[in-house]
Structure 1
């Protein structure tokens, strides 16, 4: 695992220390890693949303579409009724 040292104003360090204490993190490193993971997740989600927005329209999800899905589920579940 790599190491990174960062500088921040005292007010930010105080905030980080409070978050570590209040949210149950063991160290400030755990808190920062969690923030980075959440930012990575947001970035990945944004990329997926942008890719979806740029893609051509798909099939219409009308009542018939959902009925076909229910039938597929019913077939896979051994013929039990899927509403």
Structure 2
């Protein structure tokens, strides 16, 4: 595992150390690793949402009415709910 040194203002350093002291994390490094993992997951979710938005925009304008789209989505939901 690689080592990285970071500088934090005193209040932030105290916060990180307090998170480790409460027992959820074994040390400050575990807390920082968890923050990074959470940020990675968040970035992946944002990238996925952006991909879906881009696909939707690239698909063009539908000739279906909003009601038709809603009914199709509702039917798909019911189908998936029944399959679960």
With normalisation by structure 1, the TM-score equals: 0.70
With normalisation by structure 2, the TM-score equals: 0.69
Query: Which residue of 2 is the match for residue 48 of structure 1?
Result: 48
Cα RMSD (Å): 2.2
Alpha-carbon deviation of 1:66? 4.5
Matches within 5 A, 1:24-35: 24-35=24-35
Structure 1 CA distance for aligned equivalents of residues 78 and 47 of structure 2: 31
Query: Which residue of 2 is the match for residue 78 of structure 1?
Result: none
Using a 3 Å threshold, how does the CA distance of structure 1 residues 25 and 68 change in structure 2: closer, same or farther? closer
SS at 2:30 equivalent: helix
Q: How many residues align?
A: 70
Alpha-carbon deviation of 1:20? 1.2
Structure 1 gaps of 5+ residues are 74-81
Structure 2 gaps of 5+ residues are 60-68
More helix by share: 2
Alpha-carbon deviation of 1:36? 0.1
